[in-house]
Structure formats: C-alpha cells, structure tokens
C-alpha cells in the first residue's frame, strides 16, 4: 500500500473539524489528472460509479489493506474532481484524505 507519492504531488490546504485532511493537487487538470493519479494507485476491485460532474464517471476501489479510495465530483461546491482516501480500519490511514484537482 504505497500512496504517499500522491501527497508529494499536492499541497496541504487545511484540516477539517472532522477527521479529514484536505489537499490541492499541484497538477490541476480536472478529471484527466485525478483519474491518472487514481489509476496510479493500482487499486483492487475498481468499479465505475455513476456519471457525475462534467459528464465523466466516478470510480471506487480498494488498497491492498482494504482501505477505500474513490474519485468523485464534489457536487455543489464545484471545486473540481476529488480523490478521497478513507480512514482505514487497520490504522494505516489514521485520517481521511481528500485531494482536489480543480478544473
């Protein structure tokens, strides 16, 4: 489970009141950039989800330890595409992570 390279390509934005750390991708570029990074994670059980913003699909998958990862359009905030890495049950990811890719 090596996803630390993904955070090296982003700048920390803020920590939420909840359990999520927000990042802004250094390589903006919307769905294409977010999907390339998502694919680079080499996830298991990848599934295409519903069509979301800009007419593109979202995706979800699992890291080898079972941690959920998804790529989605954030809806009303309209900040562009986001990769979300869920807080893991095993403790490998202690806080949720969201990386926004802009448009």
34-58 residue pLDDT tens: 889 999 999 999 999 876 666 788 8
Sign of the CA dihedral 8, 19, 60, 13? Answer: negative
Nearest residue to 52 via CA among 31, 25, 36:
31
Which is higher by pLDDT, 100 or 93?
100
pLDDT value, residue 79 = 66
* 86 CB-near residues (< 8 Å, 6+ apart): 67, 68, 69, 93, 96
Q: Is the pLDDT of residue 1 over 70?
A: no
Give the C-alpha separation, 89 to 36, whole Å.
Answer: 26
């Amino acid at each position: 489970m090596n996803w630390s390279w993904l955070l090296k390509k982003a700048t920390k934005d803020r920590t939420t009141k909840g359990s999520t750390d927000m990042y802004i991708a250094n390589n903006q570029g919307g769905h294409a950039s977010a999907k390339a990074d998502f694919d680079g994670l080499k996830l298991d059980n990848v599934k295409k989800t519903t069509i979301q913003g800009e007419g593109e699909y979202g995706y979800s998958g699992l890291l080898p330890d079972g941690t959920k990862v998804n790529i989605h359009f954030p809806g009303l905030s309209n900040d562009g595409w986001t990769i979300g890495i869920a807080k893991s049950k095993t403790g490998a990811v202690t806080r949720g992570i969201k990386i926004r890719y802009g448009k």
